[in-house]
Structure 1
Amino acid sequence: MSQIQLENVDFRYPNGFLANENLNLVIKKGERVAIVGQNGAGKTTAVKLMNGLNKPTNGNVFVNDMNTKDYTTAQVAKYVGYVFQNPDDQIFNQSVYDEIAYMPRYYKKSEKEVKKNVDEAADILNIRTFLKSNPFEIPYTIRKFVTIAAILAIEPQYLILDEPTAGQDLVGTKILSNLLDVLQQKKVGVITITHDMEFVTENFLRVIAMANKHIIADGTAKEIFSRDEIIEESRIKRTDMGIIGAELGLGKDILNPAELVEVLSSRIDVQ
């Protein structure tokens, strides 16, 4: 079955710290899911369980029909790619091309396939002009795109993005939104950890809120951002338009400017 499943999962670090407790979750191939919550909620630990970087202390994690306990991280990562928040934690090659080509070569793809995958990934992220550059000599925002391209090049079934919009400008964020649309067309599942609530509400229908090691809510963006108790416990904030809508008494489920205008227009029409 093509899905990621966490089944009664706990994760405890070697020092004894319990980071995740009783996580139950299913993410199907092709879904776009945002995971939100304050720092320390357990988000990063949870997604690292999905690609085998972490192995559950209790319970089971399945990627398709693979129990991650029975496979190496490299074997699981072929299906679930993970892009680190800080690109400097991931990059180690001396050219952008070699960085993107590294994993396809690791999985024994032909050089023709490698070049095809590198070019396609670079085009999606608009970084083809940097392929001959040293990745440590290009802007931070472009380095982030290099690390995403490096994972895209192995053609994973699921892609995990850790704070992808951090440090990005409007152009970079638009490229990321386009990436999500391309991946949806390819039926690649995307799991994103982010504190950027505007990016969440504009690009994700399904939102998972975490707090204190647990999943506390799993629903649509409107369901999550309209409930005060979820906002308070997960310590996230509404979007700017959501805050304005709530303060004007227009409702707590407004997510973006278009929805705010629509509600205001309907009020004017009624009057």
Structure 2
Amino acid sequence: MRRLAEIRVNDLHFHYTPGVEVLRGISLTISPGAVAIIGQNGAGKSTFVRLLNGLLKPTAGEVLVDGVSTRSTTVATMARKVGLVFQNPTDQLFKSRVLDEVMFGPLNLGLSQEEARQRAEAALERVGLTGAADHNPYDLGLAERKLVTIASVLAMETPVVILDEPTIAQDMTGVRQIGAIVTWLRDQGRTVITITHDMDFVARYFDRVLVFQDGQVLADGPAQAVFAQPDLLRRAGLEPPQITVLGRELGLPDPPLTVEAFVAQVRDMAKNGAQ
């Protein structure tokens, strides 16, 4: 399967109510890799990703996925290219058995029952829910239902995967599981995009960060460069990870994104100071 899919967004505008724009002239390219979109509620993040998979159509400008305009393509066709995991799993689940839920997408792609089952079982193993295959999704907790929806999208094997607030209700084990999935998708050459308020999750697993504010992109760059700009983040109503703040207050030369990076820098400073 061809995994690579580039997304081009050209002067994108969108409104629900005429005269009240939600997105205002966004232009950017998203290449394969791990991209996080951050910003306050109402900044336009969720609207933006629904334009990427064709659930919404631009009111002006265009979105091209793998060279195909979402304007001229059905949602069903776009589902072969862009998989979207909704923030609320209740909006996505409708089968009475987990395995059937995860098989639904591959079957819709025209795969045989056996091929769909194989994909579904592999996806459930990937999210750590192999033992829940015969359960009713609504008998599971919120965190596990979220993992079922992630598995459903993974089973589609789309070149682009979008995760809307994937770490909601997850404990540390669940966050690490989802982070491993992000890394796996990126290493496969796919595009994985997340919307999240979890800055620690962004700092650890995402290479590129887009900061949204009032329907525009306020900043776009490597995670370390974006999180090194506290004034810019404050304008967007955001704070960098606490470990980054601590590193800055201690005068570390490179703002650390993880505890491991913080410890490594502190050790280097101590070693150099002792010499």
- Per the TM superposition, whether the score is higher than 0.5 is yes
* 1:110-150 deviation per Cα after TM superposition (whole angstroms, max 9, x unaligned): 11111111111111111111110000011111100100111
Quote the residue 1:9 is aligned against. Answer: 12
Q: What is the letter of the counterpart of residue 130 of structure 2?
A: R
Distance in 2 separating the partners of 1:10 and 1:159: 22
Q: For 1:16 and 1:251, how far apart are their aligned partners in 2?
A: 46
Q: How far has the Cα of 1:228 moved from its partner? A: 2.5
Work out the CA distance in 2 between the residues paired with 1:107 and 1:53: 18
Pairing 1:235–2:232 present: no
Equivalent runs, 1:12-27 vs 2, <5 Å: 12-14=15-17, 16-27=19-30
Q: Distance in 2 between matches of 1:181 and 1:8?
A: 30
Q: Which residue of 1 aligns with 2:64?
A: 62
Q: How many angstroms does 1:251 deviate by?
A: 5.1
User: Runs of 5+ in structure 2 lacking a partner?
Assistant: none
| 1:126 has 2:128 as partner | yes
Distance 1:80 1:31 in 2: 14
d(CA) in 2 for partners of 1:148 and 1:15?
A: 34
Equivalent position of 1:171 in the other structure: 173
Rounded Cα–Cα distance in structure 2 between residues aligned with 1:269 and 1:183: 37
SS of equivalent to 1:13? strand
Matched residues in 2 for 1:91 and 1:31: separation? 27
| Residue aligning to 1:200 | 202
Offset of residue 188 of structure 1: 1.7
Amino acid corresponding to residue 25 of structure 1 in structure 2? L
Give, in angstroms, the shift of residue 16 of structure 1: 4.3
CA distance in 2 between counterparts of 1:185 and 1:255 reads 20
Q: How far apart are residue 152 of structure 1 and its match?
A: 1.1
How far apart are 1:266 and its partner, in Å? 3.0
Q: What SS class does the counterpart of residue 224 from structure 2 fall into?
A: helix
State the distance in 1 between where 2:91 and 2:42 align: 20
**Paired residue for 2:75, among 64, 73, 77?**
73
How far apart are residue 104 of structure 1 and its match? 1.4
Structure 1 segments unaligned to the other structure (5+ residues): none
Kindly state the Cα deviation for residue 252 of structure 1 after the two structures are TM-superposed. 7.0
**4+ aligned runs moved over 4 Å, structure 1:** none
